[in-house]
Homo-oligomer: A and B are copies of this chain.
Amino acid sequence: MRLLVVNVNTTDAMTQTIAAQARAVAAAGTEIVGLTPAFGAPSVEGNFESYLAAVAVMECVRAYAGPYDAVIQAGFGEHGREGLQELLTVPVVDITEAAASVAMFLGRSYSVITTLDRAVPLIEDRLKLAGLDARCASVRASGLAVLDLEESPVQACEAIVAQARRAVDEDRAEVLCLGCGGMAGLDEQVRLATGVPVVDGVTAAVAVAESLVRLGLKTSKIRTYAPPLPKVLQHWPPAGA
């Protein structure tokens, strides 16, 4: 099967990192195609950039010509999943929801460790709308920006581990989720430092997407995610997108 793994920002290097992370866990016979949106922010941190990413991801998928079996939206806490589900019949898996869903099989409560403080409300909002918040112990910010993760990996890891420990000790989290597509590869370090299972959103999403495809399940089109009504959009999509 072929899975589209769509980055939410325009930084191609991050797309490659995410796709590699996805390939590392993909089953034999699963092809991972990493996609980078044609427009938007080089990193997504906040609602304005996230809404922009939502439409950029949708156009990116609409512009992809070949067949595919499922789509993974590889932004943690970002807008847009509902729109993709309208556009497609194949399953759409948001890494935020995949991480939370997997975490809930491993312990009674989970925390998310993310980047900037301003990402916390976005993640909380996504979890609430997804109905996955009841067992969320906390969403904590390391204070590092998305792009710091690649530039200062050692400090990034230390800051993440520090919050991870507080999540376990103070918030009683029993499982941790890494709340940024760019944290790929840190899960083992955080697990060793805290002693609790650590879920990476991208790899969780690959497993979920593969499961849905293998089970032959598709998005329900009966109401919320029915296809858009046929309409002539004005000046959209933008030329070159």
**Contact string, A204-241, partner B, CB cutoff 8 A, digits 1/0?**
10011011101101111011111011011111101111
Q: Are B236 and A39 in contact (CB under 8 A)?
A: yes
A128 neighbours in B (Cβ, 8 Å) = 128-129
Residue in B closest to A207 when the chains form the complex, CB atoms: B211
Q: A175 an interface residue at 8 Å Cβ cutoff? A: yes
Q: A166 an interface residue at 8 Å Cβ cutoff? A: no
Minimum CB–CB distance from A155 to chain B (whole Å) comes to: 19
Cα distance, A196 to B207, chains bound together (Å): 23
Cα distance, A102 to B97, chains bound together (Å): 11
**Contact string, A174-209, partner B, CB cutoff 8 A, digits 1/0?**
110000000000000000000111010001100110
User: A107 touches which one: B52, B102, B129, B225 (CB < 8 A)?
Assistant: B225
Q: Are B55 and A85 in contact (CB under 8 A)?
A: no
Given contacts A105-B212, A234-B42, whether A223 and B52 have CB atoms under 8 Å apart is no
User: A43 touches which one: B97, B104, B134, B231 (CB < 8 A)?
Assistant: B231
Q: A17 an interface residue at 8 Å Cβ cutoff? A: no
Q: A31 an interface residue at 8 Å Cβ cutoff? A: no
Q: Are A46 and B226 in contact (CB under 8 A)?
A: yes
Cα distance, A222 to B240, chains bound together (Å): 37
